[in-house]
Amino acid sequence: MITVSEALAIIARHTPPNPAEPVALGEGRGRILAKDVVSDTDWPPFETSAMDGYAVRLSDAAVPGSVLVERANTVAAGDSPPEPILPGEAVRVMTGAPLPPGAEAVIPVERARREQGRVRFEIAPEPGSHLRHRGESIKTGTRLLEAGRRLMPGDVALAALAGSDPLAVVARPRVAIAVTGDELVAVGVRPRPGQIRDSNGPMLLALCGAGGWPASSRGRVGDDASGIEALFDAAGDGEDVLVTSGGVSAGDFDMLPEIARRRGFEILFHGVSLRPGKPVVFARRGPTLWFGLPGNPVSTSVCFHLFVRFALGRLEGDPSPGAPRVAAELARGIASAGKRETYRDGILTHAGATLRVEPLATAGSHDIAAHARANALIRLPAESEPPASGAIVECLLL
Residues near ligand AMP (CB under 6 A) are 179, 181, 183-184, 196, 198-201, 245-247, 249, 251, 254, 294-297
Does residue 181 belong to the site contacting Mg ion (CB under 5 A)?
A: yes
- Binding to Mg ion (CB under 5 A): which residues in 120-159? none
- Quick one: 121 or 232, whose CB is closer to Mg ion? 232
* Residue choice 44, 108, 211, 246 for contact with Mg ion (CB under 5 A): 246
Q: Is the CB of residue 255 less than 8 Å from the CB of residue 221?
A: no
Task: Indicate left, alpha or beta for 136 from its phi (over 0: left) and psi (-120 to 50: alpha).
Answer: alpha
- Quick one: 112 or 228, whose CB is closer to Mg ion? 228
Stretch that binds Mg ion, among 32-40, 238-246, 277-285, 355-363 (CB under 5 A): 238-246
Q: Is the CB of residue 325 less than 8 Å from the CB of residue 343?
A: no
- Quick one: 88 or 219, whose CB is closer to ligand AMP? 219
Angle at CA of residue 305, ends 300 and 307, nearest 5°: 90
- Quick one: 316 or 345, whose CB is closer to ligand AMP? 345
Q: What is the dihedral of CA 66, 72, 76, 78, to 10 degrees?
A: -130
Query: CB nearest ligand AMP: which residue?
Result: 295
Q: Which of Mg ion, ligand AMP, none binds 17 (CB below 5-8 Å, type-dependent)?
A: none
Q: Which of ligand AMP, Mg ion, none binds 179 (CB below 5-8 Å, type-dependent)?
A: ligand AMP
* Nearest approach, Cβ of residue 236 and ligand AMP (Å): 22
- Binding to Mg ion (CB under 5 A): which residues in 294-333? 295
* Nearest approach, Cβ of residue 308 and ligand AMP (Å): 15
Gap between the Cα atoms of 159 and 27, Å rounded? 12
* Nearest approach, Cβ of residue 247 and Mg ion (Å): 5
* Nearest approach, Cβ of residue 295 and ligand AMP (Å): 3
Instruction: Tell me: cis bond preceding 64? Omega within 30 of 0 counts.
Output: no
Count Cα atoms within 13 angstroms, Cβ side, for 130.
Answer: 26
Gap between the Cα atoms of 233 and 62, Å rounded? 83
- What letter would DSSP give residue 172? P
Straight-line distance from the first to the last Cα atom of the chain, in angstroms, rounded to the nearest whole number: 26
- Quick one: 246 or 322, whose CB is closer to ligand AMP? 246
Q: Side chain identity at 92, as an amino acid letter?
A: R
Cβ density class 295-329: b for 16+ within 10 Å, e for less = bbbbbbbbbbbbbbbbbbbbbbbbeebbbeeeebe
Does residue 292 belong to the site contacting Mg ion (CB under 5 A)?
A: no
- Quick one: 3 or 195, whose CB is closer to ligand AMP? 195
- Quick one: 106 or 243, whose CB is closer to ligand AMP? 243
* Nearest approach, Cβ of residue 297 and Mg ion (Å): 12
Task: Indicate left, alpha or beta for 271 from its phi (over 0: left) and psi (-120 to 50: alpha).
Answer: left
Gap between the Cα atoms of 360 and 46, Å rounded? 58
Contacts of 182 (CB under 8 A, 6+ apart): 222, 223, 224, 253
* Nearest approach, Cβ of residue 176 and ligand AMP (Å): 15
- Quick one: 181 or 211, whose CB is closer to ligand AMP? 181
Q: Which of Mg ion, ligand AMP, none binds 216 (CB below 5-8 Å, type-dependent)?
A: none
* Nearest approach, Cβ of residue 201 and Mg ion (Å): 13
Q: Is the CB of residue 312 less than 8 Å from the CB of residue 213?
A: yes
- Quick one: 173 or 246, whose CB is closer to Mg ion? 246
Instruction: Tell me: cis bond preceding 381? Omega within 30 of 0 counts.
Output: no
* Nearest approach, Cβ of residue 279 and ligand AMP (Å): 7
* Nearest approach, Cβ of residue 182 and Mg ion (Å): 7
Residues that bind Mg ion (CB under 5 A): 181, 246-247, 295
